[in-house]
Amino acid sequence: MSDHVVVVGAGIAGLAAAWSARRAGRQVTIVSRGAGASALGGGAVDDVPWEQLARAARVLGGGAGRAALPLSVGAAAFVAELELWDVPAVERAWIATVAGRLRPARGRDRALLDLGRLEGALVLLPRAGRAGWDADAIAASLAAEPFAGAGRLAFQAVDLPVLRFDDEHRIGDADLAGRHDDEARLGWLAGRLRQGIAASGAGVGAVLLGPWLGASAPRAEALSAAVGVPCGEALVGAGSPAGLRFEAARDRLLDTVGARRVRDRAIRIDDERTRDAMLRVSLAGSAAPLLADVVVLALGGLIAGGIVYSPPERRAGTELPPAGTAPFELSLDAPVALSANGADRMSVVASMHGPELDVSAWPVADRPGALEAVGVLCSGVSAGAGIYAAGDVIAGRPRTALEAVASGLAAGDATVTR
Amino acid sequence: MPQQPASANGAALAVRAKPPRRPDVDVDVVVIGGGVNGLGVARDATKRGLKVVLFERNDLAFGASGNSSGMIHGGARYLTYDPHVTETSCRDSGHIQAIAPHLLFRIPFLMPVENTRKGRFLYPLMDAFFAAYDQYQPLKRGKPHARLTVAELRALEPGIAGDLTGGFSFDEWGIDGARLCVANAVDAMERGARIFVGTTVERIEAVQRGPHPPELHTPGHGYTVHHRDRVTGKADSIRAAVVVNATGAWAPITASLAGLPPERARVRPGKGIHVVYDRRLTNYAIFASTIDGRQIFLEPWENMTVLGTTDDDFYGDLDRVRATSEEVRYLVEGIARVFPSIHEARAIGTYAGVRPTLYAFGPSEDALSREHEIVDHAAHGAPGLYSMIGGKLASYRLFAEAMTDVLARVFDLGVPCSTHTSILPGGDAPCDPFALARRMGIDAVAARRLAYRHGSRAERIEERARERPREAVTVCPCEPVTEAEVRYVLNHELARSVADVSRRTRLGLGSCGGMRCAARCGQIVAEELELDPREGMRQALSFLERQALTRSAALGPDQARQEALTIASVRAEIGVGAEHDGDDL
């Protein structure tokens, strides 16, 4: 049994690991500096990359339906305490994206509109003169999606002023979302939407908006209650306010469970093997290292900077690179191995300059791209003596929110059985 | 539905209604190829009164014209073995500056010389070489060269490293080749030419009713050009008295469509690649040598830096040319000798094109002639069919003039060329970007880029945005590109897809890889061209995938991280690989 757990990385995986270790009575310190994939995410809570569902559904015949497997008990408890996501018990959510796609997700940030529950509904999209929000184009595109046909959903762009001040044509999504954290402002929006719905006549089933409904917490449910029909956001793939809402929910949960937060960058993990601790975590901004019995690496993958693409030519100057090396490395020194596919140790590329990513970087159909697959070589979540890994930093696993939760919980649990 | 120039005014329509010079054909001339040479001929011939139709298989500037080093340079490189090319290049560089002033920007070059026995020996010879080049500089408003000490070189560009003996400065001009093509196309259309992009020629059938061997002037002799729209699949044909093959590296393929042996229009295709960096790394372009002694350069170009170029015989698919990691490293290793911090710079993409160099068996790629020639296929039993072989961006107008002079003789026009004195669209008046920014409510950088691409015609885009204020929003934040401009190029510049819009506006070519703008652009394309919205999405995805391929050949640590985010974002919003999956997704 290990008492001191240090979690490196405060994304979804690190949070899940900290939460479960804390729940089991460990002392938990979570170290993080900066925003990773969770803080940049769009609010879709996937279990597998959703295109795979669509593809599988097609192979089996019929469209991808709503049915889904229930979450594990631990994951369900984590999601409930996080108070950020809605993950239906045994069905999928269907969310609209600003690109005009209607796609399944196992769950969603509560600000996002779930169109899976709106069979036969007319969905209004208010026009707003903002970059990236063309209500007419999005409505036309959504109407052409197969799920819209199957669910008899109709989409209509309407002139319904949802911006209050002139600068709101130009400010970023996060700034506009932050304004709706204010109850009075949210009330103003609700009033506008009620008026607009009344003017549109009967039969309005929902209102789809851009990613503007809250920066510190999802405000869609309060808005829906005030308007009288479901209101929610469309998904933006990266840089959405959903990332800010995650960070706020994470900090609340960490405070609730009593995990210690350290804002710093972990730079090295060494074997300590003293009476007090097994491992030593050195920090960039502090001379005093953290001592731990167990370390959970939840650094994230390439997006977060946990895995760094580092071809040898980078260090070359005018000479040959100093050595032929594997082209990826972990962003901190730790006694773990990397893998390109999740099965084998990564080996040195037979090139003094680096790999040829021209054909392998991007995913093709079901094959993940090289940039998505690289990570720490693990057996389950165990990466080395006293070191566990969770989330995107693990090699060869799908980069989804619920996969991060599952591996985070597993790592947190492992600190107990050890 | 073939695209018509929506900007055609009444006068232009009247010109178009003008009949061809013979009653038995639909048009006087069919030009095949929408690169700078073909468009130059279409413009010149239309201007001299001929009825012209042009077919382009892919898009304007799809091949070498849109993938060059982006210079209207004087061809100093050819001075020792092809001084004629240098002179004509310089002369025409001056003309192009006069007719498209908005598209040109000065690029001062530095050439460091290594402190080796060879370098010290060559220094005075190079000085004499540049002195010879100086003779031609006034033709293109260039400044004479200067001899620089090592200290002066490093003062001008602190990034220059290595053991040097000194260096030189000289002067060149940069241009956006795709914009040059578009300007020529728009001008030709406004004068009555019709241009079809995405339309491939499938067969060129000789019509021979006269005596044998046929005489060109014999009524009845001509060609039926069978063409097919590659988007709609719709086939059609048109009768023309003369056919001009201006298809660059595709020239032998085109000749074979007329039943000629491809050797009659033979080129030696030379692939050249460029690496693009995310910002202006230097204020001066820097010359360097590769390991095999070839000259390459790093140039500040528009708002980025371009490293080029290679020259290798090409045997691949001309529609799918792209740079490889290995070619990129060859260039990086070369430039790193004088500019080692290139290893730390962030490459955000590559592009590649194939030069249609004159054919010769034996010489190395670099030693091949950059001259151009016109092949009259009358000698091969196909009178009235001409192939334009060779040439370079800087001398496109001269090449087009020479070709149109031939047409003028054939049709007995008696009208001299005036393309060097008549201004290209947008070049007639300067456009103040700061005033434009204030009027449109966009930032100054966006306005500056807009004014660069469209010159005085930026005002037409401004007008759109005034009528529909929401169109002043930014679609692509990297370049940046406004929605009004995207809609304008779809309506007035023959763009038919997301990739076409990108070629005309540089949308999606910044460091985010189109993550922010490709899908939005797809929506606009679908809206403007009345396509299924899912077709817009499919175009966006295929653009993203294609661009990802070109970027990944030059991927470094920072861009790899961005690339992973782009993949995640595209996955979340659109789905990766979805466009391969047919309609039921």
| Residue A45 resides in a domain | no
Q: Lowest-pLDDT range, B8-12, B26-30, B97-101, B436-440?
A: B8-12
Whether residue A360 has pLDDT greater than 90: no
Indicate which CATH number applies to the domain containing A270.
3.50.50.60
List the single residue in A140, A353, A361 with the smallest CB-CB distance to B552: A361
- Contacts of residue A265, Cβ cutoff 8 Å, sequence gap at least 6: A31, A33, A34, A283, A284, A285, A332
* Statement to judge: residues A411 and A349 lie in one domain: yes
Q: CA torsion B312→B317→B323→B329, rounded to 10°?
A: -40
Chain B hits for A129, Cβ within 8 Å:
469-470, 473
Of the pLDDT bands very low, low, confident and very high (cuts 50, 70, 90), residue B83 is confident
Min Cα separation A291/chain B (Å):
30
Instruction: Please give the tally of structural domains in chain A.
Output: 2
Amino acid, res. B44: D
Sort B582 into a burial class: Cβ within 10 Å, 0-12 / 13-18 / 19+. Answer: exposed
* Statement to judge: residues A97 and A28 lie in one domain: no
Is the minimum CB–CB distance between A365 and chain B shorter than 8 Å? Answer: yes
Residue B582 corresponds to which tokens in the numbers above? Answer: 């047919």
Q: Check: CB of residue A22 under 8 Å from CB of residue A30.
A: no
Contact check, Cβ <8 Å, A303/B336: no
Contact check, Cβ <8 Å, B523/A42: no
Min Cα separation A139/chain B (Å):
10
| Residue A186 resides in a domain | yes
Whether residue B134 has pLDDT greater than 60: yes
Mutate: best of A38, A58, A138, A141, partner B, most B CBs <10 A: A141
* Statement to judge: residues A146 and A173 lie in one domain: yes
Chain A hits for B523, Cβ within 8 Å:
99-100, 134, 137-138, 141
| Residue A48 resides in a domain | no
| Residue A25 resides in a domain | yes
Q: Note the pLDDT of residue A367.
A: 77
| Residue A312 resides in a domain | yes
| Helix and strand counts by DSSP (H, E) for chain A | 12, 22
List the single residue in A44, A305, A366 with the smallest CB-CB distance to B572: A44
Contact check, Cβ <8 Å, A309/B337: no
Q: Check: CB of residue B74 under 8 Å from CB of residue B86.
A: yes
- Contacts of residue B435, Cβ cutoff 8 Å, sequence gap at least 6: none
* Statement to judge: residues A149 and A35 lie in one domain: no
CB < 8 Å from B in window 15-74 of A? 37, 40-42, 44, 49-51, 54-55, 58, 63
* Statement to judge: residues A179 and A311 lie in one domain: no
Q: Note the pLDDT of residue B215.
A: 52
Q: Lowest-pLDDT range, A104-113, A235-244, B209-218, B434-443?
A: B209-218
- Cis ω on the peptide bond leading into residue B213 (within 30° of 0)? yes
**Chain mean pLDDT for chain A:** 91
List the single residue in B524, B576, B584 with the smallest CB-CB distance to A51: B576
* Statement to judge: residues A159 and A14 lie in one domain: no
- Contacts of residue A165, Cβ cutoff 8 Å, sequence gap at least 6: none
The whole-number average pLDDT for the span B82-105 is 89
Cβ of B163: how many Cβ atoms within 10 Å?
9
- Contacts of residue A225, Cβ cutoff 8 Å, sequence gap at least 6: none
Stated as kind and residue range, the H or E segment containing A30 is: strand A27-32
CA distance A53 to A318: 49
Q: Which residue has the higher pLDDT, B13 or A300?
A: A300
* Statement to judge: residues A135 and A218 lie in one domain: yes
* Statement to judge: residues A222 and A265 lie in one domain: no
| Residue A284 resides in a domain | yes
Sort A293 into a burial class: Cβ within 10 Å, 0-12 / 13-18 / 19+. Answer: buried
Percent of chain B having pLDDT more than 90?
Answer: 80
| Residue A47 resides in a domain | no
Min Cα separation B565/chain A (Å):
5
* Statement to judge: residues A74 and A216 lie in one domain: yes
pLDDT tens per residue across span A188-226: 999 999 999 998 877 899 999 999 999 999 999 999 999
* Statement to judge: residues A101 and A143 lie in one domain: yes
| Residue A158 resides in a domain | yes
Chain B hits for A356, Cβ within 8 Å:
324-326, 553
Q: Note the pLDDT of residue B522.
A: 96
- Top mean-pLDDT range of A205-209, B389-393, B548-552, B555-559: A205-209
Q: Note the pLDDT of residue B7.
A: 40
The 3-state DSSP class for residue A386 equals coil
Q: Output the pTM of the full model.
A: 0.93
* Statement to judge: residues A137 and A212 lie in one domain: yes
Residue B136 corresponds to which tokens in the numbers above? Answer: 């031609």
Give ∠ CA B296-B298-B299 in degrees, rounded to 5: 125
Contact check, Cβ <8 Å, A362/B552: yes
Chain B hits for A55, Cβ within 8 Å:
581
Pick from B535, B489, B481: nearest CA to B512: B481
- Contacts of residue A201, Cβ cutoff 8 Å, sequence gap at least 6: none
Looking up tokens 């350069």, which residue turns up? Answer: B297
- Contacts of residue A315, Cβ cutoff 8 Å, sequence gap at least 6: A321, A322, B343
Mutate: best of B163, B567, B581, partner A, most A CBs <10 A: B567
pLDDT tens per residue across span B505-517: 999 999 988 998 9
CA distance A301 to A328: 11
User: By residue range, what is the domain housing residue A231?
Assistant: 56-237
Where does a domain end: A205, A237, A269? A237
Q: Note the pLDDT of residue B577.
A: 66
Q: Check: CB of residue A301 under 8 Å from CB of residue A37.
A: yes
- CA–CA distance from A149 to each of A119, A145, A146, B44 (Å)? 10, 7, 5, 52
Q: Note the pLDDT of residue B218.
A: 55
Which DSSP state fits B206? E
Which DSSP state fits B560? H
Q: Lowest-pLDDT range, A59-73, A91-105, A211-225, B41-55?
A: A59-73
Give ∠ CA A42-A45-A47 in degrees, rounded to 5: 135
* Statement to judge: residues A26 and A119 lie in one domain: no
Chain B hits for A357, Cβ within 8 Å:
325, 552-553, 555, 560
Stated as kind and residue range, the H or E segment containing B572 is: helix B557-573
- β-bridge pairing B312-313 and B267-277: antiparallel
- β-bridge pairing A294-297 and A4-8: parallel
- β-bridge pairing A4-8 and A27-32: parallel
Where does a domain end: A237, A268, A291? A237
Contact check, Cβ <8 Å, A54/B575: yes
